[in-house]
Amino acid sequence: MIRTERLLLRRWRDADREAFAAMNADPAVTRYLAGTRTREQSDAFVDRIERHWDEHGWGLWAVEIPAAAPFIGYVGLWPADVIGPGAVEVGWRLAREFWGNGYATEGAREALRFGFEEVGLTEIVSFTVRENERSRRVMERIGLIWDPDADFDHPTVDPVAYPDLVRHVVYRLTRDAWLADE
């Protein structure tokens, strides 16, 4: 469990599942994720997140605003094998009513610190579709740099159903660059 200025980053609780499923059923939240998710898909993802924490000691935290909102989404680190073997991404997904308050940036900064200081990562990446300006701005605010040479077509996105969601941009940050900015 980690506290930032305004957030509590913690392991998942069963009580988070309903709010997470509602968030994943919101077309605005999943706009760049190739469709909404069912309750079963949301629950299965929470199960994968918790298994990853148990096996590796890091993952995606459930995010809450103490004394205000018990669950607003997630932020943290996740394997990014689509970028390359052993790659780790910093990622986030928040319920729409919590967008625009700097929560993704605040949580992602803490995830970078945790990844570099506690996990010992030498590089952290992030990726999204080119048109996802909100997420790209978060990536830039937390210090990641766009690496156009690494942009790729996501192998799990159906190009017929979601032609606008196939191409992804990649941002990177090394531990050395992060330390230089501290």
Residue, of 35 and 58, whose pLDDT is higher: 58
- Are 171 and 157 in contact by the 8 Å Cβ rule? The answer is no
**Dist CA 86 CA 110 (whole Å):** 21
Whether the predicted model's global pTM rises above the 0.85 cut: yes
Q: Domains of the chain (ranges plus CATH)?
A: 2-181 (3.40.630.30)
The structure tokens listed for 123 are: 């590089």
**Dist CA 177 CA 182 (whole Å):** 9
Residues 6+ apart with CB under 8 A from 176: none
Whether residue 182 has pLDDT greater than 80:
no
Calculate the CA dihedral of residues 88, 111, 52, 3 and round it to 10 degrees: 180
pLDDT digits (tens, 9 = 90+) for 73-115: 999 999 999 999 999 999 999 999 999 999 999 999 999 999 9
Specify the 3-state DSSP secondary structure of 146: strand
Report pLDDT for 102: 97
pLDDT digits (tens, 9 = 90+) for 19-32: 999 999 999 999 99
The pLDDT > 90 percentage for the chain reads 98
pLDDT digits (tens, 9 = 90+) for 40-51: 999 999 999 999
**Dist CA 11 CA 34 (whole Å):** 26
Strand partners, 173: 124
- Are 182 and 143 in contact by the 8 Å Cβ rule? The answer is no
Residue identified by tokens 């459930």 is 62
pLDDT, mean over the chain:
96
**Dist CA 153 CA 168 (whole Å):** 6
- Are 88 and 80 in contact by the 8 Å Cβ rule? The answer is yes
